[in-house]
Amino acid sequence: MISVSNLTKYYQDNIALDRVSFEVEAGDIVGFLGPNGAGKSTTMKIITCFLPPSAGTATVAGYDIIKDPMNVRKHIGYMPENVPLYMELRVKEYLNFRAKIKDVPRRERKARVEKVMDRCWLTDRQRQTIGTLSKGYRQRVGLADAMVGDPEILILDEPTIGLDPNQVRQVRNLIRELGTDHTVLISTHILPEVEMICDKVVIISQGRIAAEGSLQALQGGIGETVEYYLEVKGPRQAVSSVLSTIGGLQNPQEHGPHTDGGEISGFIFKVARDSGAAALAVAAMVKNGWAVRELRRKERTLEDIFVEVVGRDRAV
């Protein structure tokens, strides 16, 4: 649905995007992540035809953003971070106006506006002037605006900013629901939010793609080392001494409570990816007559991955 190829953007002598390429498949909910100034908003503005690229191109729903921007706009619903709204209009009046601009057929317009107001929890505010709404409600109006044309693709820039915790949960549930019949590209700084609702992640740093893939693939496929937790029924100091002699086992450290008078010991350590050092550690425990109670590979969070790839990219 979205194909970005070597997208480059210069602001005078400063490069904001450096040959950015990624794909968003139909039906995916993709999280677009990066630190401030990484190029997220610039990428979204180019994809939605608000900015021209300096080089490269992108297609959205099969339409080229440079050659056919009008058809691109017809197939997307875009919610920018700072939603531009007509503050003097009432909520329903504004959404009717936007539905008309987006060529929603007159016979469908009323039902479509009522549907998006209901899905964005705006029905009880439909007659209220937008300028008198709180920031959270204005975000809801922006989301309803993005949805009112019933586009194939939704591009949402920080959709939960300014919402209270209950509203955030409602919007996350709505985005998951929208993902059943829309393609969604969402930019956010809230990493747990991406873990909860996204199928795939694209991380951008300093105008370049630092990592991309499914959450499962990223959790298992980035970095040169893997961290393990080992719990053994054996004396702490003796276990530590044996672990320190195993080749390829890096930086074993005590971890977790010790029970049974110090006879149950927990350690964390790192090993090179695809190495057999963890198995060697288990064999060494058994050889010394200590029962292995647990050997568990530590699950990496999206925050771990983000810090690792953004830090690595900045060090280049």
Q: pLDDT per residue over 223-238, tens digit each?
A: 677 888 999 998 888 9
Among 23-32, 163-172, 235-244, 307-316, the range scoring the smallest mean pLDDT is 307-316
Tokens 């504004």 identify what position? 94
Task: Tell if the pTM clears 0.85, that is, is over it.
Answer: no
Side chain identity at residue 165, one-letter code: P
* Backbone angles phi and psi of 160, in degrees to 5: -105, 5
**pLDDT confidence tier of residue 315, bands split at 50, 70 and 90:** very low
Least confident of 101-105, 183-187, 298-302: 298-302
User: In angstroms, rounded to a whole number, what is the distance separating the alpha carbons of residues 110 and 124?
Assistant: 16
* CATH class of the 2-220 domain in this structure: alpha beta
In the structure encoding, which two tokens stand for residue 275, read together? Answer: 């190495």
pLDDT at 93: 97
Tokens 């070597």 correspond to what residue? 6
Looking at the chain, which residues constitute the CATH 3.40.50.300 domain(s)? 2-220
Q: Which own/partner pairs from 274-283 qualify as long-range (CB within 8 Å, at least 24 positions apart)?
A: 275/248, 276/248, 277/246, 277/247, 277/248, 277/249, 278/228, 278/230, 278/249, 280/246, 280/247, 280/248, 280/249, 281/228, 281/230, 281/243, 281/246, 281/249, 282/230
Could you read off the pLDDT of 277-302 as tens digits, one per residue? Answer: 889 999 999 999 999 999 988 777 78
CATH top class, domain 223-299 = alpha beta
Residues of the chain with CATH 3.30.70.3190: 223-299
Which segment of 17-31, 112-126, 172-186 scores lowest on mean pLDDT?
A: 172-186
DSSP H or E stretch at residue 172? helix 165-178
What is the structure's pLDDT at 271?
87
Kindly report, residue by residue over 208-226, the tens digit of the pLDDT. 999 888 877 777 665 677 8
pLDDT of residue 65: 95
Residue 214: its pLDDT value, please? 85
Inform me whether the pLDDT recorded for 304 exceeds 70: yes
